[in-house]
Each structure stands twice: as structure tokens, then as C-alpha cells.
Amino acid sequence: MNKNITGNHYNKYESKNPLVRILMNGFLNAFDKLLKCTDAKTVYECGCGEGYLSLHLFKSGYNVSGCDIGPEVVAQTLSRIQSAGYNGDFIVRDIAELRDKTSIADLIVCCEVLEHTSNPEETLKTIVSLSKKWVILSVPNEPWWRMMNMARLKYLSQLGNTPGHTQHWSARKFVTLVSLYFDVIDVQLTFPWTVVLCKKKEQTSP
């Protein structure tokens, strides 16, 4: 993961902009719809950022923990979670450093992270080992993400590419990639994101 880019460039979770609030409500509704399809009790968020989604999971009744590469954002997560009365385990750690861990939670959540990675295939392999059963992934849906940025007159010299985004997938290409490592159960296209519910592939005997 790109160690120079952590957290959100724009705090979309607490934005007062009516359009952004509509988009975020759409994302959370899609996320919750997929969440309800699982029988998970424990959740580990890879790339927890400032903790908004982890807090949402805690308030939804899940035992949640997680990691991020940025000490500052992990500190924000801990503060946000503890203010809600929860003492979850959140650590400063790159997802790659978890590759020796196995089956640490029923559900692994990795949202708005894979587009920052230099080797998403290796990250997905690590997530396979971390999950007992379920995975929820989300990434920006290209080219809509860049078009939206340019409509906001943001990152024009980069043609709308958000700083730190090194991977760019359409919904179809992302689902194709994820299908190599998981059974894809459901896909939610909520502008401008692709949100995917996956299940670990069944192990077959030789």
C-alpha cells in the first residue's frame, strides 16, 4: 500500500454537502444490504482510515477490529470508537504484514483501499487467509470517479485521479479480478462505487 497516502482526502462521511450526503447514504445502504446477507459476528477492517465504517459496524452490533498504515488515522479511529464506549483492537499495520495470519474474523471489510495498492492481487490473497468466510470490498467505479472529481474541478492536472489511486477498475473488471480469489455473491453499484460481497471459495480435495 502507498505509505504516503492515508485517510480520506475529503471527509465524505461528515460532509454537509447535500449531494455528498446522498452518495454516502447510497454507499452505506448498499454496504448494509450486503452485510445482512452474511452470518458474521466478528469483523476486521483492513484499512480502517479514520474509523467511520468501523464505528458504523460497531453501532450495528458487530465485534469489530482493524488496521491501517497511518498512525494518525488509527489514533482517530481509537478516539472515535472509544468515545462510543467501545474498546476495539485497532493497530498500525500494513495489510501485507498480516499475510501470516489466518481466519481472524468471520468477515473482512476492505473498502476504498485496493485502489491504493501497488499489488492488489497479493492483497486479495492476504484477505483470503484473513477471512473465515465472508469479505466485503469496495473501490471507485472508473471512469465515473474521475469524471465526478473533474466536475468538482478537483485534480484537473491528473485528469480527475485522486492522489494515491494507482489502480483503476470499471465494475466489470473489478468483479472479474475478485472472482479469481472468491465466490462473488452480490454486487452493488452505488454511484460512484462498486461494492462486492464475496465468500471464500470452497476447498476441494485433490
pLDDT, residue 205, reads 41
Selected residue with higher pLDDT from 147 and 58: 58
For 163-186, write each residue's pLDDT tens digit: 889 999 999 999 999 999 999 999
Query: Position of cell 471459495?
Result: 201
Q: Which residues contact 56 (CB under 8 A, 6 or more apart)?
A: 28, 31
For 99-140, write each residue's pLDDT tens digit: 999 999 999 999 999 999 999 999 999 999 999 999 999 999
Whole-number Å distance between alpha carbons of 131 and 143:
30
Q: Fill in the amino acid letter for 40.
A: A
pLDDT at residue 204 tops 80: no
Please compute the mean of the pLDDT values over residues 152-159 and round it to a whole number: 79
**pLDDT band for position 3 (50/70/90)?**
very low
pLDDT, residue 10, reads 57
Cα dihedral value 58, 92, 125, 100, nearest 10: -110
Give first-to-last CA distance, the chain, whole Å: 35
| H helix or E strand, kind and range, residue 67 | strand 63-68
| Total-model pTM | 0.90
What SS3 state is found at 104?
A: coil
Whole-number Å distance between alpha carbons of 174 and 205:
28
For 44-93, write each residue's pLDDT tens digit: 999 999 999 999 999 999 999 999 999 999 999 999 999 999 999 999 99
Q: What is the CA radius of gyration of the chain?
A: 16
Cα dihedral value 104, 107, 113, 115, nearest 10: 120
How many other CB atoms are found less than 10 A from the CB of residue 60? Answer: 13
pLDDT at residue 6 tops 80: no
Give the domain ranges of the chain: 66-98, 109-200
- 143 cis-preceded (ω within 30 degrees of 0): yes
pLDDT, residue 95, reads 96
pLDDT, residue 148, reads 78
Q: Fill in the amino acid letter for 160.
A: G
Residue 190: strand pairing partners: 193
Q: Are 97 and 83 in contact (CB under 8 A)?
A: no
pLDDT, residue 202, reads 81
Whole-number Å distance between alpha carbons of 194 and 188:
6
Selected residue with higher pLDDT from 18 and 202: 18
The domain 109-200 is classified under which CATH number: 3.40.30.120, 3.40.47.10, 3.90.1640.10, 3.40.50.150? Answer: 3.40.50.150
